[in-house]
């Protein structure tokens, strides 16, 4: 077991990498869909290439918003290291979770491009997982920033601008 002082074994490093949310969304989920559809269809799955821009949109939203967030809010990737301040500008003026939303847009693109009910199930499962994660993140942010975070929540919707 890795105690933090010695270098993790290759197996531990691989498990930590596989546990990262972006790896799960942008690598493992599409690979699972491809494997499932390959087995289900008995060959390479058909891909509607004209629908893949939805996948690109989701990935770019995640990546570009992450680059926007880092220097403006401080903290680290994800919620392992809390931000130093509430970011309520740019994409964060429209939705409180634009990076997580990017993950879900990407997975919707996978479902559309592969015309896969299995991908829809993965999308639904990940949406529930992300929503639970957001609820936990919100508790931590409320504890750290109090009334400032509550005011931000009152102004900006959790997921979709002006809707939800």
* Contact status, residue 54 vs residue 115, Cβ threshold 8 Å: no
pTM: 0.91
pLDDT for 4 beyond 60: no
The CA distance from 61 to 50, in Å, is: 19
Query: Comparing 42-46, 52-56, 77-81, 82-86, which segment has the lowest mean pLDDT?
Result: 77-81
Distances in Å between the Cα of 52 and the Cα atoms of 21, 63, 70, 71, 77 are 21, 17, 28, 30, 26
Q: How large is the average pLDDT for residues 2-7?
A: 68
pLDDT in tens, 50-80: 999 999 999 999 999 999 999 999 887 777 7
């Amino acid at each position: 077991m890795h105690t933090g002082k010695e270098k993790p074994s290759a197996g531990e490093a691989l498990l930590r990498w596989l546990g990262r949310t972006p790896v799960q969304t942008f690598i493992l989920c599409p690979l699972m869909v491809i494997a499932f559809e390959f087995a289900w269809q008995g060959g390479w799955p058909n891909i509607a290439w004209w629908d893949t821009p939805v996948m690109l949109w989701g990935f770019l939203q995640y990546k570009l918003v992450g680059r926007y967030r880092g220097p403006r809010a401080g903290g680290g990737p994800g919620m392992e290291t809390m931000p130093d301040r509430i970011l309520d500008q740019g994409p964060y003026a429209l939705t409180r979770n634009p990076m997580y939303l990017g993950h879900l847009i990407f997975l919707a693109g996978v479902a559309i491009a592969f015309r896969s009910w299995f991908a829809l199930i993965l999308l639904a499962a990940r949406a529930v997982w992300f929503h639970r994660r957001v609820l936990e993140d919100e508790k931590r942010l409320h504890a750290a920033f109090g009334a400032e975070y509550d005011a931000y929540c009152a102004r900006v919707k959790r997921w979709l601008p002006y809707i939800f």
